[in-house]
């Protein structure tokens, strides 16, 4: 019986050792699986973030494409930053004057920091333009209407029109009315 007990104890010890070994292997595998899960979750999170970023970039690209005409239209309300933009604007004003049948002289041009809080000061500035005009009342009003309809953000700072009482100038230039117009136009820097 003693032999049986000693054999039983040995078998029991072997079973306990095997159980402990299998438990140790189980915990090692469990830790490895947890580590692999964390790596997988990190990769999935990175993939999701990249997918969201790609979707946002695609949305921005689509938005840029779909708003291109509107952005072009908005940019056309400003005088371009190049010097030719100022010249083109003045030539447009002069051609409106010729088309309206008035005499027009540009007295002053002043570039000034934009004081509006709605416009970024590092991108946009005001161009102040002083004009001296003369002609028939209806032609001057037509010129002002055409200038108001021009595709720029124009603000009339001062419009002063008076009857021309100077007979010499009136007969010579055919200007029944004379005036001064000060206007502001937004311009890219």
- Summarised one tens digit per residue, pLDDT across range 91-129 is 889 999 999 999 999 898 887 765 555 555 555 677 888
Residues 104 and 152 in one domain: yes
**Residue at a domain's end among 38, 66, 94:** 66
pLDDT digits (tens, 9 = 90+) for 27-75: 999 999 999 999 999 999 999 999 999 988 888 888 877 777 776 666 6
- For residue 36, tell me if it sits in a domain: yes
Average model confidence (pLDDT) for the chain? Answer: 81
The number of distinct structural domains making up the chain is 2
Q: How far apart are CA 178 and CA 166, in angstroms?
A: 10
The residue segments making up the domain with residue 182 are 79-188
Tell me if residue 133 falls in helix, strand or coil. Answer: strand
Do 185 and 154 touch, CB atoms closer than 8 A? Answer: yes
């Amino acid at each position: 019986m003693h032999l049986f007990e000693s054999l039983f104890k040995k078998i029991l010890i072997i079973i306990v050792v095997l159980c402990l070994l299998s438990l140790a292997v189980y915990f090692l595998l469990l830790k490895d699986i947890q580590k692999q899960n964390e790596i997988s979750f990190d990769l999935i999170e990175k993939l999701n973030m990249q997918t969201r970023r790609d979707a946002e970039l695609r949305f921005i690209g689509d938005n840029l494409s779909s708003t291109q005409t509107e952005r072009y239209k908005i940019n056309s309300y400003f005088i371009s930053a190049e010097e030719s933009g100022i010249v083109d604007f003045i030539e447009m004003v002069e051609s409106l004057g010729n088309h309206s049948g008035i005499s027009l002289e540009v007295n002053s041009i002043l570039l000034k920091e934009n004081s509006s809080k709605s416009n970024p000061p590092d991108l946009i500035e005001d161009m102040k333009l002083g004009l001296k005009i003369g002609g028939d009342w209806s032609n001057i009003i037509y010129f002002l209407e055409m200038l108001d309809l021009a595709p720029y953000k124009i603000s009339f700072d001062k419009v002063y029109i008076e009857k021309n009482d100077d007979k010499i100038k009136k007969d010579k230039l055919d200007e029944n009315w004379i005036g001064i117009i000060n206007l502001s136009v937004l311009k890219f820097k």
